[in-house]
Every structure is written in structure tokens, then in C-alpha cells.
Amino acid sequence: MEYWNDERWLTVWPKRERLTDAITPFLLDGMALQPGERVLDVGSGGGKTTLAAARAVGAGGFVVGADVSEPMTELALQRTRHAGVDNVAFQIVDMQSGERIEGGPFDVAMSQFGVMFFDEPIVAFANLRAQLKPNGRLRFACWQSNAKNPWFFAPILAEFVSPSVPPAPGKSPTGPFALADPAWTASILEGAGFSAVRRTTFEIEVDAPQDALVDDVQLGVMGIPNEHLEKARDAVETHVARFKQPSGQSRFPLAFAIVDASTV
Ligand SMILES: C[S@@+](CC[C@H](N)C(=O)[O-])C[C@H]1O[C@@H](n2cnc3c(N)ncnc32)[C@H](O)[C@@H]1O
């Protein structure tokens, strides 16, 4: 939770979104949001997907963004005020805590890369399910494996950060690829009471400046100490050189899955 509450996300995340904005239509298009529906956006981050869902459900509908991060939620609130949207609210909450989300019960729960960070995933998804109406639906985007997402460079920096601690007994590993395995994901969702689990995979390429992926502030958020910054920067430069285009932009291959499930 400390990781997501780092104030530096306020400047890092808007850059990172240039990589993932292209995925939002894949998430929303198949969701068939109807005017008047109530939607819960889990791990809503800077609120872009929350605002997009609010447009889809119209003035008679309502969307709540739930996120554990104060800085991310501050960014979402700034954007909501700027857009003048009033059918949206945000709640700072850990989805693993069982805290009630104000504004429910919801017709739909959605998430763009906000559901892979639970070390008790069955508990978190059961909490999420409890916020839905009896005929509720769930749809989220998660990453396929790291092998299919070579842009994710964190493994090459292992020598510069403290070794990661294995999960405590009974806890699950978390991180961007925590739901990369289809069978594991289905078992979590079924364990949390969801049914009709369906997974569709996509591979796209996105052109973005390199700092959508990494810059010195991002390296700081990842815990690279100042004394290793130069070496870490060099290692990353070598790794990301393969994505560089003659235009100066980088072309990143993104492999993700959209997962659907139902409460019945
Ligand atoms: C990869 S970001 C995605 C943000 C946003 N959905 C987007 O697509 O830009 C993951 C988000 O999940 C949130 N998150 C992580 N663990 C959470 C938890 N236990 N409960 C609620 N939100 C959580 C983080 O704070 C972060 O905003």
C-alpha cells in the first residue's frame, strides 16, 4: 500500500497512461454499459476509465472509483473537477479490507490493471462481488505473461534493489503478471463466487515516448537508490533500445487479456 501511496505517482502516472490508454476501448466496448447503470471501477488510479464509464452510463447512472492510493485518487478528483462531471465519486479503500463501497450495489464492476495487486485475491474478489447486484457482471484487463510483455523491465534491475520478500504463508504473489495464468485466475474468481469466467487475449503495439515507460522519477519510485541511478539508467537504456523507432518514439508490444465473469 505504501508503494501506491508514493506522491511521485502524481507526476509518473500521467506519463504511463500514454502506454495503457489504448487498452480502455477493449475494456469498455464489450462491457455494454447501459444508461442508468451503476458501475464500480476497482483500482481506478487517475480516474480516466472511471470518467469514460460515467459518459457511457449518462446522467442517470453513477460510477464509483475505488483505489487504495491517495495521490492517484487526488489526480482522479482533479480530472473530474476539470471535466465538470457530477455522476462520479471516488473512495480511498483497500479492496481486501471488506469495507463497504458507498453508492452500491453496482450493476458492473470493472478494472483496468487494478486487480493484480491483492495478496489475498480470493478475499478481494469476494469483497468486490459483495458490492454487486444479484445479476452483476465483472470485466477487467490484466497483463499476459512478462515473456509476452518485454517492455516490463523491472527484472533487469534486480541487482540494484533489495531482494523481494517471498509472500508470507497463505498469501499470493502480487504484481503486473499475477493474473497472467488463465487457470489460476479462473480458480480465484470461482473461489470468490463468480461464474461464467471467460478470457480473451489481445496483442497490440503502442507508440509512445520512452518516458511513458521509464524516467529517473520512475526509477526512484521503483526503489533504485541514488548511488545506483546511473547504472540502472544504462541498463534500462540498453533494454529499451529495441523499441526505438526512427521517429524518436518507441513502439511497445502490449499483450493483455480481458476477463469477464458473472455473479450468477
Ligand atoms: C496499474 S494501476 C492502474 C490504474 C488505472 N486503473 C489505470 O488503468 O490507469 C493499479 C491501481 O490499483 C490500485 N490498487 C492496488 N492495490 C489495491 C487495493 N488493494 N485496493 C484498491 N486499489 C488498489 C493502485 O493504487 C493503482 O491505482
Burial of 82 (0-12, 13-18, 19+ CB in 10 A): exposed
The pLDDT value given to residue 164: 82
Residue of 44, 49, 70, 179 to mutate, ligand 1, most atoms within 8 A of C-beta: 44
Closest C-alpha residue for ligand 1 atom 4? 45
Topology of domain 3-148+169-205+253-262 in CATH is Rossmann fold (3.40.50)
The pLDDT value given to residue 53: 98
Inter-residue contact 2 to 71 (CB < 8 Å) = no
- Walk along the chain (264 residues) and give the pLDDT tens digit of each residue: 788 999 999 999 999 999 999 999 999 999 999 999 999 999 999 999 999 999 999 999 999 999 999 999 999 999 999 999 999 999 999 999 999 999 999 999 999 999 999 999 999 999 999 999 999 999 999 999 999 999 999 999 999 988 888 899 999 999 999 999 999 999 999 999 999 999 999 999 999 999 999 999 999 999 999 999 999 999 999 999 999 999 999 999 999 999 999 999
Q: Determine the atom of ligand 1 nearest the C-alpha atom of 176.
A: 1
Inter-residue contact 119 to 172 (CB < 8 Å) = yes
The pLDDT value given to residue 210: 94
Euclidean distance between CA atoms 46 and 17, whole angstroms: 9
So where are the chain's domains? 3-148+169-205+253-262
Task: Quote the pTM value.
Answer: 0.97
The rounded Å distance from CA 118 to ligand 1 centre is 10
Closest C-alpha residue for ligand 1 atom 14? 43
The rounded Å distance from CA 66 to ligand 1 centre is 8
Residue type, 102: E
Q: Determine the atom of ligand 1 nearest the C-alpha atom of 96.
A: 19
The rounded Å distance from CA 68 to ligand 1 centre is 7
Q: Determine the atom of ligand 1 nearest the C-alpha atom of 20.
A: 8
The pLDDT value given to residue 162: 83
The pLDDT value given to residue 1: 72
The pLDDT value given to residue 165: 85
The pLDDT value given to residue 124: 98
The rounded Å distance from CA 246 to ligand 1 centre is 34
Pocket of ligand 1 from Cβ distances under 6 Å: 4, 17, 20, 43-46, 49, 66-69, 72, 94-96, 112-114, 117-118
The pLDDT value given to residue 144: 98
